[in-house]
């Protein structure tokens, strides 16, 4: 590895605190990289900085050195509480937060500052207890930082330094609202130092910087060279059926020892892992579905060289420093041009060289022009020859499809994957049975209205060809029912010989089972249920229209006085009133002295 990527400025000439300088020397750093040489002289004076440089050029060390120098040079205010933090560093992904924490432990080993990292997926209570014990430097992802802050585990009222790493990625992941939430609860911009670093700085990131930072100085190292010069880029144009044989052939040809393969979807990462393992290549997929402990273990194995191929989505393309990565494969062309820069930036770091190979298949080749426009150059391509393609590919069976948890969580009556439930759903089992119906119970004999079927001809009932209408009025008690039927001259079920006549003759009415849903809900309650039970009797013919309306669930509309709604249509015409002509047409006008209305 050459040292041409280093500048002539040394760390010893910057006048750093001895405790900070001791950690730098133990880390093996002597000379600054270009981004460090231009940002450290500004940041060490306490000014705000927004830095952009290529991947693998030492941006993390730049803001950590400035952070430790600020905290050691400026003591905390006397009003700071035990749980008050002095510096905060926000990263978009868990892996990047862990890497920043590891670098901070090395560089700040002798500073005496307490450093903590918080992120989702693991050790919730352990991280909480660590924060409650008091922390000087807090590193983490936005979600977990806000979670503990809202629980008053720590406070940010006396923070002296704030750092945003890979801020453009936070925009892509939808964290910008969380970032604004955190920045607005820090001290004012003029009372803290703010630093922002990324390999790609978009206009919206710069707007955020100038909104929440105190006149930051923009430092850009070779912005026209977005990708590193030591990355050898090449592109192939395979068909969909040639992608896997091409990947296997290239991995075998290059004797992959420490290789990263980037894909666009989690399903594709899992499929690649199965195929590579079936063909004798030690590979592991790293995606958002993998538990956090396993993700950290996979990264540790890849760092140690125990894992030959790491398959990842863009979650691992930001900021991770993995030394000696020889090859990076873009199995899918990224749909965001900036992701291409960060993907190939995993190789050729700190002055080393590496290869970046991209597959432009028919599905994702549409994004290639945007990538080439973004990096400012055409990617050289190579033809696919038969000797490159692997011919002895072992195709393992595909994994059984497993529904992933939906964004809505478990719904009422749904399964554990967030789908909509059937008839057995509900907050409790009893309620679920009432909705789905008791399967052991015989079917009810009733029509749409919910009552018993009317007596049919030839069944011992009155010789009426049409079914007798059901009474609309619903008494509350059986005695009231008998009294009302006697007054109206309606025969009781016992007299007509209809179903349930015996119960009615004895002065009792079978109570209707109340349903929680379905027809008739909320339209009379128990009164309608009692009326429906007594519906076998004949009712006066005048009630037939009302019965049919109730059975068809049609509610007759009442005639509405138009004058009630007239001010809504003419709010500014106090003298305008609706016409009351026979045709009920709407008119407006102004009344004259005689009372006549003029249009």
Taking residue 333's Cβ as centre, other Cβ atoms within 10 Å add up to: 23
Which of 178, 193, 220 finishes a domain? 220
Query: Does 566 score more than 90 pLDDT?
Result: no
Average pLDDT rounded to a whole number, residues 108-125:
91
* Residue 419, in any domain of the structure: no
Which CATH number fits the domain that encloses residue 144? 3.40.50.300
Instruction: Note whether 147 and 285 are same-domain residues.
Output: no
Same domain, 206 and 276: no
Kindly state the average pLDDT of the residues 566-574: 50
Q: Is the pTM here over 0.75, yes or no?
A: no
Look at residue 559 in the predicted model and tell me its pLDDT: 55
Same domain, residue pair 240 and 172? no
Q: Which residue, 84, 83, 88, is CA-closest to 118?
A: 88
Do 329 and 293 fall within a single domain? yes
In-domain check, residue 497:
no
If asked whether residues 201 and 236 sit together in one domain, one would say no
Residue 447 pLDDT greater than 70, yes or no: no
CA 77 → CA 81, 85, 158, distances in Å?
9, 11, 7
Residue 500 in any domain: the answer is: no
19-25 long-range CB contacts below 8 Å, 24 or more apart?
19/68, 19/72, 19/110, 19/111, 19/112, 20/65, 20/68, 20/69, 20/72, 20/107, 20/108, 20/111, 22/109, 22/110, 23/68, 23/106, 23/107, 23/108, 23/109, 23/110, 23/111, 24/65, 24/107
What is the extent of the structural domain holding 324?
231-375
Distance CA 401, CA 64 (A): 45
Q: In the chain, how many H helices and how many E strands?
A: 21, 15
Say yes or no: 236 and 207 in one domain. Answer: no
Look at the chain and report how many structural domains it folds into. 2
Q: What's residue 183's pLDDT?
A: 92
What are the beta bridge partners of residue 236? 359
In a domain, 333, yes or no: yes
Domain boundary among 220, 239, 256: 220
Does residue 362 lie in a domain region?
A: yes
Q: Is there a single domain that holds both residue 200 and residue 280?
A: no
The verdict on residue 28 lying in a domain is: yes
57-95 burial: b if 16+ Cβ within 10 Å, else e: bbbbbbbbbbbbbbbbeeeeeeebeeebbbbbbbbbbbb
Find out whether 225 and 57 touch, Cβ atoms under 8 Å: no
The mean pLDDT value for 190-206 works out to 86
- The answer on 335 and 193 residing in a single domain is no
Domain check: are 188 and 299 in the same one?
Answer: no
Asked whether residue 100 is domain-assigned, the answer is yes
Query: Does any domain span residue 306?
Result: yes
**Whether 92 and 157 share a structural domain:** yes
Measured in residues, the chain has a length of 599
Give me the pLDDT at residue 210, please: 82
pLDDT top residue among 540 and 100: 100
Using one digit for the tens of pLDDT, what is the confidence trace for 131-154? 999 999 999 999 999 999 999 999
Tell me the pLDDT of the chain averaged across its residues: 74
pLDDT for 281-321, tens place per residue?
A: 999 998 767 787 888 788 888 888 888 999 988 765 565 66
Give the pLDDT band of residue 110 (cuts 50, 70, 90). Answer: very high
For 218-262, the pLDDT digits (tens) are 998 876 555 666 788 999 999 999 999 999 999 998 877 789 999
Q: Is the pLDDT of residue 560 over 90?
A: no
Sign of CA dihedral 72, 73, 75, 76: negative
In this structure, the answer to whether residues 240 and 369 fall within a common structural domain is: yes
Choose the final residue of a domain: 220, 252, 275: 220
Closest CA to 29 of 46, 7, 51: 7
pLDDT at 316: 58
Q: How many CA atoms lie within 13 A of 176 on its CB side?
A: 14
Same domain for 261 and 332? yes
Distance, in Å, from the CA atom of 231 to the CA atom of 234, rounded to the nearest integer, reads 10
pLDDT tens digits, one per residue of 39-69: 999 999 999 999 888 777 788 999 999 999 9
Query: How many Cβ atoms are within 10 Å of 254's Cβ, its own excluded?
Result: 14
Task: For residue 64, report the phi and psi dihedrals to the nearest 5 degrees.
Answer: -70, -40
**Do 578 and 566 form a contact (C-beta atoms < 8 A)?**
yes
* Alpha carbon 50 to chain centroid, angstroms: 29
């Amino acid at each position: 590895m050459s040292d041409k990527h280093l500048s002539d400025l040394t760390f010893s000439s910057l006048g750093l605190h001895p405790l900070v300088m001791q950690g730098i020397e133990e880390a093996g750093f002597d000379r600054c990289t270009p981004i460090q040489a231009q940002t450290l002289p500004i940041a060490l004076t306490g000014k705000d900085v927004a830095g952009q440089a290529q991947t693998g050029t030492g941006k993390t060390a730049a803001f950590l050195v400035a952070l430790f120098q600020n905290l050691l040079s400026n003591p905390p205010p006397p009003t700071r509480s035990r749980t008050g933090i002095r510096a905060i560093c926000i990263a978009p992904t868990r892996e990047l937060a862990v890497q920043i924490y590891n670098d901070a432990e090395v560089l700040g080993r002798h500073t005496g500052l307490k450093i903590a990292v918080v992120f989702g997926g693991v050790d919730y209570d352990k991280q909480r207890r660590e924060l409650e014990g008091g922390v000087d430097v807090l590193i983490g992802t936005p979600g977990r930082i806000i979670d503990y802050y809202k629980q008053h585990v720590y406070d940010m009222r006396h923070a002296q330094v704030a750092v945003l790493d890979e801020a453009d990625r936070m925009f892509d992941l939808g964290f910008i609202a969380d970032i604004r939430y955190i920045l607005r609860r820090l001290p004012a911009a003029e009372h803290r130092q703010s630093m922002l670093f990324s390999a790609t700085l978009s206009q919206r990131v710069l707007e955020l910087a100038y909104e929440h930072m105190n006149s930051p100085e923009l430092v850009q190292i070779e912005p026209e060279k977005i990708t590193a010069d030591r990355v050898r880029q090449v592109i192939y144009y395979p068909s969909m059926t040639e992608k896997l044989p091409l990947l296997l052939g290239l991995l075998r040809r290059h004797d992959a020892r420490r290789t990263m393969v980037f894909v666009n979807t989690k399903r594709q990462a899992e499929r690649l892992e199965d195929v590579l393992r079936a063909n004798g290549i030690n590979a592991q997929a790293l995606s958002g579905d993998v538990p956090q402990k396993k993700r950290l273990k996979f990264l540790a194995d890849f760092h140690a060289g125990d894992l030959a191929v790491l398959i990842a989505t863009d979650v691992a393309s930001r900021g991770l420093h993995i030394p000696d990565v020889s090859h990076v494969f873009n199995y899918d062309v990224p749909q965001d041009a900036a992701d291409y820069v960060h993907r190939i930036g995993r190789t050729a770091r700190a002055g080393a060289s590496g290869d970046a190979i991209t597959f432009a298949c028919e599905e994702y080749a549409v994004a290639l022009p945007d990538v080439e426009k973004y990096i400012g150059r055409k990617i050289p391509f190579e033809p696919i020859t038969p000797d490159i393609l692997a011919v002895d590919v072992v195709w393992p069976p595909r994994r059984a499809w497993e529904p992933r948890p939906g964004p809505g969580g478990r719904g009422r009556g749904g399964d554990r994957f967030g789908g909509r439930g059937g008839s057995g759903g509900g907050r409790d089992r009893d309620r679920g049975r009432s909705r789905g119906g008791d399967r052991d119970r015989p079917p009810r004999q009733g029509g749409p209205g919910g009552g018993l079927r009317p007596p049919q001809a030839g069944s011992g009932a009155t010789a009426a060809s049409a079914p007798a209408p059901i009474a609309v009025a619903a008494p509350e008690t059986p005695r009231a029912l008998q009294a009302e039927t006697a007054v109206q001259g309606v025969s009781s079920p016992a007299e007509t010989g209809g179903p349930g006549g015996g119960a009615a003759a004895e002065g009792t009415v079978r109570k209707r089972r109340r349903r929680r849903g379905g027809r008739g809900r909320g339209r009379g309650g128990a009164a309608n249920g009692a009326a429906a039970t007594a519906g076998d009797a004949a009712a006066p013919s005048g009630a037939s229209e009302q019965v049919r309306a109730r059975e068809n669930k049609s509610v007759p509309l009442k005639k509405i006085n138009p004058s009630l709604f007239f001010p809504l249509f003419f709010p500014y015409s106090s003298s305008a009133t609706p016409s009351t002509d026979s045709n009920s047409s709407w008119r407006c006008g102004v009344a004259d002295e005689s009372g006549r209305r003029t249009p």
